[in-house]
Structure 1
Amino acid sequence: MPTFITDVLQDLKSKHLDFSEIIFVLPSKRAGVFLKSQLHNYIEKTSFSPSIQSIEDFVQDLSQLKQVKGIELLFQFYDSYKTITPEENIEPFDSFSKWAQVLIQDFNEIDRYLISSNAIFDYLGAIQELNHWSLQENKTELTSNYLTFWQSLNTYYNQFVNDLIKKESAYQGLIYREATEHIEAYIQNTNKTHVFLGFNALNTAEERIIQELLQNNLAYIYWNIDSHFINDQIHSAGYFARQHKQNWSFYRQNDFNWTSSVYREEKNINVIGCPKSVGQSKYVGHLITTLLQQSQGLNNTAIVLGDETLLTPMLNSLPNGIEAVNVTMGLTLKSVPLAALFEELFRMHKLNSKRYYFKDIINILSNQMTQYLLVSSDKIIQSIRHNNITYLTADELLNLADDSDINVLSLLFGDWETSISNNIKNCLKLIFKIKNTLDHLKSKKHLELEYLYRFNVLFNELANLNTTYGYIKDVSTLHSVYKELLNTETLDFQGEPLDGLQIMGMLESRVLDFETVIITSVNEGILPGGKTNNSFIPFDVKIENNLPTFKEKDAVYTYHFYSLIQRAKNIYLLYNTEVDALKGGEKSRFITQLEVEGIHDIKHKIVSPNVPKIEETLTIVKKTNDVVERLKEIAAKGFSPSSLTNYIRNPIDFYFEKVLGVKNAEEVEETVAANTLGTVIHNTLEDFYKPLEGKHLTLSHLESMKGLIDKTIAHHFAATYKKGDITKGKNLISFEIAKRYISNFLTTEIEVLKAGNSIKIIAIEVESHVSIDIPEIAFPVTITGKVDRVDELNGKIRVIDYKSGKVEQHMVEIVDWDLLNTDYDKYSKSFQILCYAYMLTQQDIVQFPLEAGIISFKNLKQGLLKFAEKESVYSRKKNHLISEETLQNFETQLKSLIIEICNPDIDFTEKELR
């Protein structure tokens, strides 16, 4: 397939030029690799290779300045800022960096387009003065400072530029401005032929340099534009080409090379809508598989990522049969596992707290990289969870660790307030410790070692910046600088640049042609990028000074898109059909434009993952011999009322909890849970009432209990909630609630006694273990449980169960005995208290008749909620006394339930919970 590059080389050969005397200048280094690979086809004799440069390198050579990039440029700007700003008005570096980066971008644009800084910044200052005019003579301090900032922009610019020139360094825009000053001297001292190819949007400095070389017959320029785009006056793909053709004086006497007509050739264009970004990646994998099955090679195929964050899922989605893949973009360093570790460290230490939050500690100890280093990480995590610790000091953390881990934990959790240089050194030490550990592993972790090397370079750069400039004063600023460096660092892929499938970003595709092109994320807001204005210069001022706006940036995207597809034969355009939080869902205007043009037949389709339909089925577990043996063990040990009601609720829950012994993972309880609060209340009442067994309750007993509430509850919180903090927040509220519940309960008891009633405490926290004779079951069966309280009120026996939650009277009433062991929602509370009454009567601890009920601490006003039998739901007549007949009815249902549980022919079948 003839490409733009081969067409250019053929034309140069036809001009009989000496290739060794040519300087090729291209938009990117990537295009230079493809150009170099084709040169041997057009050079007929042995000669030196021509010079091949990107436009940035060519202009930098012209300027004789060294380019300073990224964060170091920001530090140098801060130097200049401090030089001209009164000491009392100097901002800290951290806050300065937030606006300075935007200002540097504006400096860059102004210089690239050769705009007078005096004119534009004075104009901006005047605009702001007009916007904030006031009838009052004296402006507020805020207004004055604001206007001073705008009026100082030109001063900042001049100081910054002068300081950089003295050091023979510059940012890109200043390099372009200086290059234009040197072009005449360069022309006088060169006889080389310059070939510019594949350019589109040129800034003013580039235009001036190229035109000077053209006017002096030292250059050729080849445009990669189709006649369809340049002749259509409203087609934005030809926007810049039309301007150059119309405005350059060179084209008044010379031809415009070239305008091709390849775009109208027949193309296979497919527009495919896919859900989500990962969906696009998976479909690209499917497309590549299809191309391989059709025996098509991939040497002339390119995947162009509109959204470069898709690189990792794209690589993971490629089929295994690909022999060669070349990735022209790097993997961002912030996406590797080691970045997560350092992000956690910075986030934790910049809080400047002597106590670390347990989740931060666990995140760091659980990181893949720290797992290589630490022996006792799991032990520490378990200790934190078991003891319910929410905050730890560094010393407390070290006390939980093995001696071999002390050094590493000191690096991770030591004091970061000592000095910034020490913090950076600690990070470097940590990197080397991980490296040494990986070096000794039998299975070499080459990728992890590559990560470590790149982070070692990054932190050494941080150390150099801190040593040179000394502006990093705290961990927060260090974190900001670290993130700036991290965002610019990438891991480069190794591959053969000319063979196999090419994966690239939109900018890397400039000047290159492929037969098959797959473009992802062809969505509005991505291609093109949409309206973004990260600048201090307003839109109208940019228009006035011929600076690029979002309109020109959209035209750049349009050109890149169309230049990619103008020579391609097979084109696949993928877009995200799903509406995300900020972007996605709307296909790009480029797709609509292709449809409106009507030149090509475009095939549309929407694809979605093949998701198998999964029938929702309830879990069924067969009672194997092993399960039956386990049931025998449980029966011998004893079925508790709670386990039986758990079975009523859902047999599968009973199976997991009792048969398999599956427990919930132990987690740190940050806020007091309901069961913890209930345990504290139960244990407190046990302490108060246990010494009174066999005695009558008196007012003096209750008054003395009231005086012990705070101390006793604090003691049981410490025992149950362990090292959890109950001194603030929701936990303090829970602590106060527990006190209020106990106090209100004791007040209720006092009122009962003052009303002339007599209460005798029979037993507190009674451990019951009762055997049941069930002829249908061939092995021993027992039920077991702990009854909170048994007392005697005015001669009437009461079996009482405490509940810290809310219980209503209707929840302890029964109408239909046959529903007792099937309807959990209505009868679970009745089942439990009847079970307690049954066990106590079987042990002869209580005799008939008796009452049983629940004291709900959230419903104390109702007193004891007594169990009752009713003839019907609507009947007001209730029988609160539990007789022998009552418990016989219960026993029938109880035995029926246990028979069902132990019957090997009845499976554990999951209930569909409502």
Structure 2
Amino acid sequence: MQFLNKIITELLDQNADLSQYSIVLPGKRPIVFIKRILQERQYSGLLPNFYTIEDLIVQISEKQPVKGIALWLFAFDVYREIYPGEDFAGFLKWFPTLLKDWDDILKFTDSDKAVLEYMFDEERIKNWSENLGDTTDLPRHKYLNFWQKMNHFLPILKQKLAEKNWATSGMIHETVKGKTEKFAQTTANKFVFCGFNAFTKVEEKLVRNLLQWDKAQCFFHTDEYYMNDLRQEAGKFLRDIKTWKEFNDSREFRWIDDDFAQPKNIKVYEVSGNITQAKVLPDIFKNINDPNLSKTAVVLLDENLLPTCLDALSSVNYLNITMGFPLKNLNFSNAVKQLFYLQKQLEKKDSSYYYNDVLSVLEELPNNEVDQRIILNFKANIEERNIVYIGKNQFRELLNELSFFNLFEKPAGIISFLDQLISFCYELKFREIDDILYESISHFEKSFKIIKNQLSPYTFAMGMDTLEVLINQLVNSETIDFEGEPLQGLQVMGLLETRLLCFENVILLSANEGKLPLGNSQNTYLPFDVRRHFNLHTFLENDSIYAYHFYRLIQCSPNVHLLFNALSSGVNTGEKSRFITQLEIEDNHHQIENIIIENTSEPINKEAIEIEKTASVLKKLEEWKSRVSASHLTSYIYNPIDFYLTKILGTRETSEIEEELSQRSYGNLVHYSLQIIYEKLVGKQLVASDLEFSSSQISDIVNTSIIKMNHQLDFYEKGMNFIHKSIAERVVRTIVNYDLDLVKGGNSLEIIGIEEQFENIPFYLNEDKTDHVSFYGFIDRIDRLNGELRIIDYKTAKTKNLAISQPKKVEDEEKLEKIFFKDDRKQALQLCIYAYAAIHSPTIVDKRVQCGIWSFAEANQGVQLLSIFDKTEISENLLEQPMKSIRNLIQEILDPEKYFKETEKVTW
């Protein structure tokens, strides 16, 4: 800390008793380092007084600062007396921004009235709105009305605040304007201003008055590199300060160093992605000669990088974080925001809750075991019934036993709801939760208490949406502070926390344009030219302040690592900071090394999964042989590992809520609808009247199927799901009409069975018939068309490869024996098993059958039949060759020497 060391040395040379001094700093962070320096020098006297410049100004003003919620509520109470039409939620949308502008006006101009009148100046308005006309809805007219109101409202607000001896930040500066001379004359303190690079008008007046009365001295941390070069914006304000008449031959401007020109190792890293920046940190540490990293600082220009950096720094023994983590980025914060959204839904009569909105609250709040069981049961219910939008009654039915269910009910009032939230947060803190979550909950508890206390003096009505805005405004400005080792180990901080501090090794992350500097993204109602006219700070002045912090940080650091994200995503343009470009172009003292780091990973050696058929696996396979279905075999063909997981281990896919109907559910919808129609006709010779359905009847049948699927009818009332339902109705109507045309055409059609189950159909794996498997399954439809028995399977997808050709060559015979080892033959495989089961079924006397697929995608084509050696009438002899392939497939599954292994699909 060479700059602080110089200051302490200078002060001790002047007076061995530092208690005579009052040290004024830009922030509180350097105080702990000053104390360490004094300890190292074995200073035994009383410590000096420490102030921030803001604390000193407030002390001189003798005003009570007011800000945040207290100020917003008081200001609105004043505003509604003048303009009673606006609600508090609307007020909060513009007042915080206006307040910042007003404070700037009070700090940097002689009269806020002049600026407000200027904004309402008649000639300026004429230039803006010469074609405005009489329409009051035009934005310019609204803008004119806004400043007209502010010219009336802000003076009254200032008066009301003054009556209570309250003051905003700007009002405090305005008050101190007339007190600086008297304070400088009467104070007995000796002030030491350290490390400032810019002052407001009042701060400048105070410092200069104290200098004139010889009651202050200033130490500036500057460098010849940017002080002597008028092009360097980093020295803009300091060059002006240097010209003060108070700095002369008897009182020098101290200090202008020449540190920047000293040898430095400056590296610029072009990094692909934000996360990669954090991953680079351990590699940079390896090349730094700093064993415990106590002389190293990681400076984050993007606060959102903090969690990622902490993961990357997990191996660092000592770590101190001096920047806060935004409360709004934590899961608990998101849950609270979503809770308020659900509360607003209660104000609507026929509203329902979107399932994800509910789950984001339930899953992100800490839950005890009882609550966890209730939530799991809730999830199982909505997943089983595919409930996307949960009705209020349904919501109560499923969650009313939840310990914090009262938070989802409509409260008696805002204060009552805040009491419930405070009680809930208090109870959560006694559970086993991690430190960050504990701090997050504590911050919210404090915020709720603050809001409740601040609301108590006021009587204006406030709805849930207004409370939500108020809490969001508060939470967005809150951060969680970390505790660490402030005097040893690695320092992780923001750019402003580095003021007055020096480090041998500086690592700056997110050095992108828009982060360093922030650019022209000021949140203000005052146009740029108005700010320039009245000498208010614009983004140009802010850029100069950022430039100073950047150059000051690296001027005393021998090793500088500047990282920027080169990827363009979201608001990030992927452009490096202009300050880095300036260094590369203008810095004649150093050779800057550019490094490109791609977001690469170690190559993945993907090896096929192999699972050995152990004794326990073979035992399971023996059990499997007693119930073999066609779907088991097609699962094996598609992926042997899936077969192992589902049929051997017995795992099942987790059910998920479908916001848009899946192909599987669509198929079930059509399938169930056809089942409802045809199961009433089983055993009957169909006539035309059996198959004549109106559109409304078809729609009712589909609705019945929806209920059978445990889905909600309103799930299908709009969007893509309405389209899917309409398509399902059309497919059902097409299939029924196809059968109707057959009957009307003089064909004989009889329904034999719907969802007909077969089981214990033996299939022998050897010639001795000592080893066999038993087939089981369900046939969607069995009918008899003109005396021919048909086995029909419904499919959502199109049909393919239902023809098995007669082998003409030896190679073809070999292929035929493995024809069902291919994924594209699974429909034919299934039909062959169905045909085999029908022929060997004790309940079916026919020994010749037809087997086919009725595709929902090609419903108007009717049943497309399986063809074996150009014949569609399947007999046991025709099945002999295809069943050999099925036998080979089953034997491969049972073969202990052949592992379950992911293999490429067989194609010919």
Instruction: Tell me whether 1:543 sits opposite 2:543 in the alignment.
Output: no
Pairing partner for 2:190 from 188, 193, 197: 193
CA distance in 1 between partners of 2:47 and 2:257 (Å): 28
Asked if 1 retains the 8 angstrom alpha-carbon contact of 2:509 and 2:562, the reply is yes
CA distance in 2 between partners of 1:508 and 1:42 (Å): 25
Pairing partner for 1:614 from 600, 604, 608: 604
Pairing partner for 1:284 from 277, 281, 284: 281
Q: Secondary structure at the match of 1:882?
A: coil
Pairing partner for 1:586 from 568, 575, 584: 575
Asked if 1 retains the 8 angstrom alpha-carbon contact of 2:297 and 2:505, the reply is yes
| Equivalent in the alignment of 2:64 | 66
TM-score, normalising length: structure 2 = 0.91
Asked if 1 retains the 8 angstrom alpha-carbon contact of 2:630 and 2:777, the reply is yes
| Equivalent in the alignment of 2:709 | 720
* TM-superposed deviation, 1:182: 1.1
Relative to 1, partners in 2 of residues 1:480 and 1:821: Cα closer, same or farther, differing over 3 Å? Answer: farther
The aligned amino acid for 1:551 is L
CA distance in 2 between partners of 1:166 and 1:467 (Å): 20
Asked if 1 retains the 8 angstrom alpha-carbon contact of 2:105 and 2:111, the reply is yes
Pairing partner for 1:157 from 129, 154, 166: 154
| Equivalent in the alignment of 2:233 | 236
CA distance in 2 between partners of 1:144 and 1:574 (Å): 47
Relative to 1, partners in 2 of residues 1:864 and 1:679: Cα closer, same or farther, differing over 3 Å? Answer: same
| Equivalent in the alignment of 1:902 | 894
Question: What do residues 179-209 of structure 1 show as CA deviations (whole Å, max 9, x unaligned)?
Answer: 1111122123223222212110212221122
Relative to 1, partners in 2 of residues 1:133 and 1:325: Cα closer, same or farther, differing over 3 Å? Answer: closer
The aligned amino acid for 1:530 is G
Q: Secondary structure at the match of 2:493?
A: strand
Percent identity for Structure 1 against Structure 2: 32
* TM-superposed deviation, 1:560: 0.6
Q: Secondary structure at the match of 2:345?
A: coil
Instruction: Tell me whether 1:423 sits opposite 2:417 in the alignment.
Output: yes
Question: What do residues 740-779 of structure 1 show as CA deviations (whole Å, max 9, x unaligned)?
Answer: 3333322222221221222233333322231012117964
Q: Secondary structure at the match of 2:366?
A: helix
Relative to 1, partners in 2 of residues 1:490 and 1:726: Cα closer, same or farther, differing over 3 Å? Answer: closer
* TM-superposed deviation, 1:10: 2.5
CA distance in 1 between partners of 2:41 and 2:697 (Å): 100
* TM-superposed deviation, 1:584: 5.7
Q: Secondary structure at the match of 1:273?
A: strand
Relative to 1, partners in 2 of residues 1:738 and 1:313: Cα closer, same or farther, differing over 3 Å? Answer: closer
The aligned amino acid for 1:771 is P
* TM-superposed deviation, 1:372: 6.0
Asked if 2 retains the 8 angstrom alpha-carbon contact of 1:10 and 1:42, the reply is no
Relative to 1, partners in 2 of residues 1:884 and 1:115: Cα closer, same or farther, differing over 3 Å? Answer: same
CA distance in 2 between partners of 1:295 and 1:257 (Å): 31
**RMSD, matched Cα:** 3.0
Relative to 1, partners in 2 of residues 1:833 and 1:467: Cα closer, same or farther, differing over 3 Å? Answer: same
CA distance in 2 between partners of 1:232 and 1:105 (Å): 33
Pairing partner for 1:78 from 70, 73, 76: 76
Question: What do residues 640-690 of structure 1 show as CA deviations (whole Å, max 9, x unaligned)?
Answer: 122222222232222222222221102234444333343343344344434
* TM-superposed deviation, 1:791: 2.4
Question: What do residues 571-592 of structure 1 show as CA deviations (whole Å, max 9, x unaligned)?
Answer: 2222223333222632222223
| Equivalent in the alignment of 1:130 | 126
Relative to 1, partners in 2 of residues 1:38 and 1:854: Cα closer, same or farther, differing over 3 Å? Answer: closer
Instruction: Tell me whether 1:754 sits opposite 2:752 in the alignment.
Output: no
TM-score, normalising length: structure 1 = 0.90
CA distance in 1 between partners of 2:158 and 2:452 (Å): 26
Instruction: Tell me whether 1:524 sits opposite 2:513 in the alignment.
Output: yes
* TM-superposed deviation, 1:547: 1.6
* TM-superposed deviation, 1:69: 2.3
Question: What do residues 472-495 of structure 1 show as CA deviations (whole Å, max 9, x unaligned)?
Answer: 622222112112211222333334
CA distance in 2 between partners of 1:508 and 1:712 (Å): 69
CA distance in 1 between partners of 2:689 and 2:642 (Å): 46
Asked if 2 retains the 8 angstrom alpha-carbon contact of 1:866 and 1:880, the reply is yes
TM alignment of 1:785-800, pairs within 5 A = 785-800=777-792
Asked if 1 retains the 8 angstrom alpha-carbon contact of 2:853 and 2:864, the reply is yes
TM alignment of 1:39-438, pairs within 5 A = 39=38, 48-85=46-83, 87=84, 90-126=85-121, 129-134=125-130, 138-142=134-138, 143-246=140-243, 248=245, 250-251=247-248, 254-288=251-285, 291=288, 294=289, 296-320=291-315, 322=317, 324-352=318-346, 353=348, 355-371=352-368, 374=371, 375-393=373-391, 396-400=394-398, 406=401, 408-416=403-411, 418-436=412-430, 438=431
Q: Secondary structure at the match of 2:243?
A: helix
Asked if 2 retains the 8 angstrom alpha-carbon contact of 1:517 and 1:572, the reply is yes
Q: Secondary structure at the match of 1:384?
A: helix
CA distance in 1 between partners of 2:750 and 2:19 (Å): 113
* TM-superposed deviation, 1:282: 3.0
Asked if 2 retains the 8 angstrom alpha-carbon contact of 1:648 and 1:821, the reply is no
CA distance in 1 between partners of 2:196 and 2:555 (Å): 15
Aligned length: 887
Relative to 1, partners in 2 of residues 1:308 and 1:842: Cα closer, same or farther, differing over 3 Å? Answer: same
| Equivalent in the alignment of 1:701 | 690
The aligned amino acid for 1:480 is V
The answer for unaligned runs of 5 or more in structure 2 is: 808-814
| Equivalent in the alignment of 2:841 | 843
* TM-superposed deviation, 1:56: 0.5
CA distance in 1 between partners of 2:441 and 2:508 (Å): 33
Asked if 1 retains the 8 angstrom alpha-carbon contact of 2:794 and 2:855, the reply is yes
Relative to 1, partners in 2 of residues 1:39 and 1:321: Cα closer, same or farther, differing over 3 Å? Answer: closer
CA distance in 1 between partners of 2:232 and 2:8 (Å): 28
Q: Secondary structure at the match of 2:359?
A: helix
* TM-superposed deviation, 1:895: 1.5
CA distance in 1 between partners of 2:56 and 2:176 (Å): 9
Q: Secondary structure at the match of 1:408?
A: coil
| Equivalent in the alignment of 1:807 | 798
The aligned amino acid for 1:278 is I
User: Which shows bigger deviation, 733-742 or 550-559?
Assistant: 733-742
Relative to 1, partners in 2 of residues 1:773 and 1:502: Cα closer, same or farther, differing over 3 Å? Answer: closer
CA distance in 2 between partners of 1:55 and 1:704 (Å): 85
TM alignment of 1:554-633, pairs within 5 A = 554-583=543-572, 585-596=574-585, 597-607=587-597, 611-633=601-623
* TM-superposed deviation, 1:287: 3.6
The aligned amino acid for 1:836 is Y
Asked if 2 retains the 8 angstrom alpha-carbon contact of 1:389 and 1:724, the reply is no
Relative to 1, partners in 2 of residues 1:266 and 1:671: Cα closer, same or farther, differing over 3 Å? Answer: closer
User: Which shows bigger deviation, 882-891 or 539-548?
Assistant: 882-891
CA distance in 1 between partners of 2:480 and 2:129 (Å): 52
| Equivalent in the alignment of 1:10 | 9
Q: Secondary structure at the match of 1:53?
A: strand
| Equivalent in the alignment of 2:810 | none
The aligned amino acid for 1:548 is H
Question: What do residues 78-110 of structure 1 show as CA deviations (whole Å, max 9, x unaligned)?
Answer: 23322332x3xx322212212211111111111
CA distance in 1 between partners of 2:183 and 2:42 (Å): 27
* TM-superposed deviation, 1:246: 3.1
The aligned amino acid for 1:640 is S
* TM-superposed deviation, 1:459: 0.9
CA distance in 2 between partners of 1:694 and 1:139 (Å): 77
| Equivalent in the alignment of 1:744 | 734
Relative to 1, partners in 2 of residues 1:49 and 1:765: Cα closer, same or farther, differing over 3 Å? Answer: closer
The aligned amino acid for 1:841 is I
| Equivalent in the alignment of 1:875 | none
User: Which shows bigger deviation, 379-388 or 456-465?
Assistant: 379-388
* TM-superposed deviation, 1:132: 3.9
Q: Secondary structure at the match of 1:199?
A: coil
CA distance in 1 between partners of 2:607 and 2:42 (Å): 73
Relative to 1, partners in 2 of residues 1:827 and 1:689: Cα closer, same or farther, differing over 3 Å? Answer: same
Instruction: Tell me whether 1:856 sits opposite 2:855 in the alignment.
Output: yes
The aligned amino acid for 1:19 is L
